[in-house]
């Protein structure tokens, strides 16, 4: 639950699971003792009451590792070798091919929708099937696509080309510019991408750091993500 929904208090976890807060705290205390979770002060809503402030629990890198970072060292070594012997363009090409194989099989299910919000939901469902525990939520006049797990986070910390290629592919699939706000590779709780949703005839203005789709293209996924 902490993986999929991010920081939560013990009370909220207990309510969602339908068990006592005491039972939840015992489990969370075990995660804290093992270094798999940590706490932060929860944002206050309304006047501050008596007693200790509520604590949010969130997973640490050790906790996320339970969900799989297999072959990280091997993958990093392989990409490092590629960069040294074939150059940065080869790393970029690899990153683009990787994300194409990831989302390519889901392209039709995503692009059949006509608006960015519906496409974002379909993309989140596809990413979840691929192990990224993704979800969407409405924020203002847009949607936020949140990936609560990243199987390649440790590799992407060294090679941000993986994140950049992913963001570009999302823009192509969603048919609109997108803005990457946070990544697990940089130490954030989730990979968060802002997807603007505007009414017809009122195009959104790309913000700093946003990635726009290539003109005249619906999705930048060659051969549906399959090798030529």
Domain match, 122 and 168 both: yes
Structure tokens at 124: 């989140």
Range of the domain at 145: 72-225
Q: 204 Cβ partners below 8 Å, 6+ apart? A: 141, 142, 176, 177, 196, 198
The predicted model scores a pTM of 0.63
Answer yes or no: do 133 and 182 share one domain: yes
Tens digits of per-residue pLDDT, 108-145?
999 999 988 999 999 999 999 998 999 999 998 899 99
Contact 166, 111 (CB under 8 A): no
Whether residues 151 and 185 share a domain: the answer is yes
- Residues 104/110/112/115 CA torsion (nearest 10 deg): -140
The reported pLDDT for the residue numbered 217 is 45
Distance in angstroms (rounded) separating the CA atoms of residues 215 and 171:
11
* Residue-level pLDDT at 198: 67
In angstroms, what CA-CA distances link 187 with 22, 144, 194? 30, 18, 18
Instruction: With residue 74 as reference, give the H or E element that holds it.
Output: helix 72-86
Domain holding 59: CATH number?
A: 1.10.10.10
163 three-class SS: helix
CB atoms within 10 A of CB 97: 15
At 221 the pLDDT is 52
**38 and 131 share a domain?**
no
Same domain, 108 and 204: yes
Statement to judge: residues 42 and 98 lie in one domain: no
Residues 162 and 79 both lie in one domain:
yes
The CATH number that applies at residue 143 is 3.90.1520
Q: Find all residues with CB under 8 Å of 189, minimum gap 6, and list them.
A: 6, 7, 58, 148, 182
Residues 149 and 203 in one domain: yes
Whether residue 121 is found in the same domain as residue 61:
no
Q: How many domains does the chain have?
A: 2
Q: Show pLDDT as tens, one digit a residue, over the chain (228 residues).
A: 676 677 888 888 888 877 888 888 888 888 888 888 888 887 766 555 555 678 888 888 777 766 655 567 788 889 999 999 999 999 999 999 999 999 999 999 999 999 889 999 999 999 999 989 999 999 988 999 999 999 899 899 999 999 999 999 999 999 999 999 999 999 998 999 999 986 444 444 455 555 766 554 444 454 444 433
Q: Are 105 and 188 members of one domain?
A: yes
Only one residue has tokens 């974002």, namely: 120
Choosing from 65, 85, 119, the residue where a domain stops is: 65
Percentage of the chain surpassing pLDDT 90? 46
């Amino acid at each position: 639950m902490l993986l999929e929904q991010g920081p939560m208090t013990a009370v909220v976890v207990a309510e969602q699971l339908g068990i006592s807060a005491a039972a939840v705290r015992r489990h969370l205390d075990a995660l804290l003792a093992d270094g798999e979770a940590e706490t932060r002060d929860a944002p206050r809503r309304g006047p501050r009451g008596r007693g200790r402030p509520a604590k949010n629990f969130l997973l640490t890198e050790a906790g996320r590792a339970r969900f799989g970072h297999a072959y990280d060292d091997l993958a990093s070594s392989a990409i490092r070798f590629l960069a040294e012997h074939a150059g940065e363009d080869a790393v970029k090409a690899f990153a683009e091919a990787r994300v194409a194989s990831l989302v390519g099989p889901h392209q039709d299910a995503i692009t059949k929708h006509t608006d960015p919000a519906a496409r974002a939901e379909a993309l989140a469902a596809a990413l979840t099937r691929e192990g990224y525990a993704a979800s969407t939520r409405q924020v203002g006049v847009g949607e936020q696509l949140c990936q609560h797990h990243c199987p390649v986070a440790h590799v992407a910390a060294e090679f941000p080309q993986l994140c950049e290629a992913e963001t570009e592919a999302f823009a192509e699939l969603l048919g609109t510019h997108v803005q990457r706000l946070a990544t697990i590779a940089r130490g954030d709780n989730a990979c968060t991408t802002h997807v603007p949703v505007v009414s017809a005839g009122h195009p959104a203005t790309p913000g700093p750091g946003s990635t726009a789709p290539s003109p005249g293209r619906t999705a930048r996924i060659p051969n549906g993500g399959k090798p030529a």
